[in-house]
Structure 1
Amino acid sequence: MSNIPQRGFSNSEFEARLTAIQALMDKQGTGAILLTTEHDIFYFTGFLSQFWQSPTRPWYVVIPPKGRPIAVIPEIGANAMNNGFMKDIRSWSSPHATDDGVGLLTDTLLEVLASTTAKTIGINKGRETHIRMPLEDFERLTDQLSSSDSHIGWVDATDSIRAVRMIKSAAEIAKIRHVAGCVSDVFETLFSFAEIGMRDVDLFRSFNIACLEAGVDTVQYLVGGAGQHGYDDIISPPSGRLLSDGDVLIFDTGCTFDGYYCDFDRNYGFGEVNDGAKRTHQAVWQATEAGLKMALPGNTCAQVFAAMHEVLLKAGALGESVGRYGHGLGIQLTEPPSFTAWENTVLQEGMVMTLEPGMIYAPGKMIVHEENIVIGGDGPELLSRRAPAELPISQ
């Protein structure tokens, strides 16, 4: 039990995150940042709750140019937000018939902006982001701010928030390493509870149970597919199909520990699997090797993509249809940046990424492979336990 990471973070961890984002705010002349989404609020405050599954109540956190964040949240969450780091917690009874926090949020933003010459509010606008509040409330907020000061405007804070969140601390990496290790244990024992004739729905259930028993907090994401000598779908839930002789099965899972994800997959053969599937499994494994060699500080995501793609083309890939060969990982199952041909983000130490090459080797037949890594100064460290080069097959 001693190797299980400590839950939560020290105040110094949150202070470092706050210092980093406020430095970018100062550089860009931003007077405040408004956070509305589960993951951004968790990252900057430590507020972790499954209550986000309910769409009824909005939640807001305002980051000022100096000092700690200010929570503007429903009263039901005030005690949970009071975790030692958050000091200024303002709440209202929610849901409310006429003003579900907009007035309180307006007053808070105006108070923060009054302390600085900057009159802009940063908010997520870019790729892979959204604003979690009713559109009519956002319009009311904008109108109320404008009526107080016509010079107040919105700016895109996506790049700033992304830059801070993208580099993981040692404590964050430890959580991802732990959950990846738990899931690696389960993947290595899959044949102990998977066999020909088994319904996929029962296999999914057994996998969920095994992961929980291995020590993960949640099996937040589990998809897969099985088909004769390969599959054509990797994002679906179980259908009730029976595992058959000649099937190749993929499980792709995102399990969590203390709010942090692993995300990787494994492939398994059952009975007489053809040579095409076996060769393709070796090809995506070799493509991952090429990605590992290129995943170095200073290289771009596009360069890592190109290294993996070259291996697959030489192996006879018929196409690349998923758009990328991996992505960032952390408090979300997928985070920026992506390993694509057009992503020129430069890799830095502390980035946690997935390598996920996939190859279509025949019409309707593909094999996808995924590992989790952290970028280090001397090269990447595997957080998931490396898959075997040859397709594991159960007779």
Structure 2
Amino acid sequence: MSSRLQRVQARMAQTNTDLLVVGPSSHLVWLLGLSPHGDERPVMLIATRDKAAILMPALNADSQRGLTDLPFYTWSDAEGPNVALANLLADLGATGESLSVALDETMRADFALLLLGALKSPRHGFLNDTLSFLRAQKDGAEFDLLKGAARIDDAAMTAAFAFLKPGMSELEVDAFIRDFFRQRGARPEFTIVGFGENGAFPHHHSSERVLKANDTVLIDIGCRINGYPSDMTRVGTVGQAPEGFDDVHAVVEQAVQAALAAVRPGVRASEIDAAARGVISAAGYGPNFLHRTGHGLGIDVHEPPYITATSETILEEGHVFSIEPGIYLAGRFGVRLEDIVFVGEDGPVVLSDLSRAAFRR
């Protein structure tokens, strides 16, 4: 049994959780290193506080058996999953009434309903206080993997801004970055390239828009290597910066610094958001900060903890998340500066080594 599963089971006891159910998701990758084929056939890891087993379609079982010593309860297309699921639950002793069940929030709804329908009056929630709680606290090995991905992002961002020249399209720069990642053994995860007014759309899709002299450029990129991703945003200008750009950049940088200064174990996530948002609001750009200050990063690009105005999450040593305040001026330009931080014992550790200063071409 994996050490992570044992930690989750101990956490289940602490939170009075009777049953934990995980689908074929990043949760299962983190927990057991399993990534079974996912389709409409139900796949579930089901755990009590001292036992665990896996419901698995028979046609997928052989490819996964060598990755875990947990018992498999297999079923064929001809049989359906119900009998195998009932046997699994009986062998785990999960037959009582009103069991407290923690469900994988990313699992297919029909998988969840199948499981809940096999229990007697279950009480159900999600993994927030159990698996997700532990998964948010990255260990040293995860830190090293995230740091490695961040180093590739640093190099890709530097190369992308050096590649810029008037006349090329956002899509050309997008393709350059993706090729850069592949050449270094990483998989492109996402790429946003926004010239001029397109930088004012936080989730812009790179387009045929052509770079012109005196344009601003916003680039938000991430790759994945050894199972873990990166995420970073930087901005710059080609030629003369448009009116107000440098002032806005300075405000966003001050917001990043204020958020970083607030990061330490024991602080609420909402306090980090408030620190960044306060700087931007004081400068008169409050309505132009259109999103939360950050999101967690781990196996998934977006995962807990979320750095929002309403988050009650208490930061713990090992939490990893983005700090990415932005100011978006419709029809003109946008400035977002994003770094990933690790919550250390004494405060934040920024994974990127790249300056947030605006690139100049």
- Structure 2 length-normalised TM: 0.90
- From 192, 201, 212, the counterpart of 1:223: 192
Residue equivalent to 1:300: 268
Native 8 Å contact 2:264 2:345 kept in 1 = yes
Pairing 1:59–2:43 present: yes
Pairing 1:193–2:128 present: no
What secondary structure is seen at the aligned counterpart in 2 of 1:195? Answer: coil
How far apart, CA to CA, are the structure 1 residues paired with 2:122 and 2:31?
A: 24
How far apart, CA to CA, are the structure 1 residues paired with 2:327 and 2:283?
A: 9
Pairing 1:280–2:248 present: yes
AA aligned opposite 1:45 = L
Residue equivalent to 1:82: 65
Residue equivalent to 1:119: 99
Instruction: Render the CA deviation track for 1:30-87: whole Å, top value 9, x for unaligned.
Output: 33211114111111110146x54xx4444211123114x4222233443443345443
Residue equivalent to 1:34: 21
Residue equivalent to 1:267: 235
Residue equivalent to 2:74: 91
Native 8 Å contact 2:290 2:328 kept in 1 = no
What secondary structure is seen at the aligned counterpart in 1 of 2:206? Answer: coil
% identical equivalent positions: 24
Pairing 1:380–2:351 present: no
Q: 1:360 to 1:27 in 2, by over 3 A?
A: same
Q: 1:22 to 1:270 in 2, by over 3 A?
A: same
Residue-pair matches, total: 361
Residue equivalent to 2:258: 290
How far apart, CA to CA, are the structure 2 residues paired with 1:103 and 1:33?
A: 19
- From 89, 108, 119, the counterpart of 2:88: 108
Deviation at 1:318, TM superposition (A): 4.7
Residue equivalent to 1:73: 56
How far apart, CA to CA, are the structure 2 residues paired with 1:38 and 1:234?
A: 27
Q: 1:206 to 1:363 in 2, by over 3 A?
A: closer
Q: 1:277 to 1:75 in 2, by over 3 A?
A: farther
**Is there any run of 5+ residues in structure 1 with no aligned partner, and where?**
1-10
AA aligned opposite 2:23 = T
- From 145, 154, 157, the counterpart of 1:175: 145
Instruction: Render the CA deviation track for 1:153-203: whole Å, top value 9, x for unaligned.
Output: 434443222211110111111111101111111111223322110122121
How far apart, CA to CA, are the structure 1 residues paired with 2:289 and 2:43?
A: 37
Task: Could you list the structure 1 runs, at least 4 aligned residues long, displaced by more than 6 angstroms after superposition.
Answer: 115-118
How far apart, CA to CA, are the structure 1 residues paired with 2:116 and 2:56?
A: 18
AA aligned opposite 2:359 = P
Native 8 Å contact 1:70 1:86 kept in 2 = no
How far apart, CA to CA, are the structure 2 residues paired with 1:59 and 1:253?
A: 33
Residue equivalent to 1:5: none
Residue equivalent to 1:313: 281
Residue equivalent to 1:355: 323
Pairing 1:45–2:32 present: yes
Q: 1:97 to 1:264 in 2, by over 3 A?
A: farther
AA aligned opposite 2:203 = I
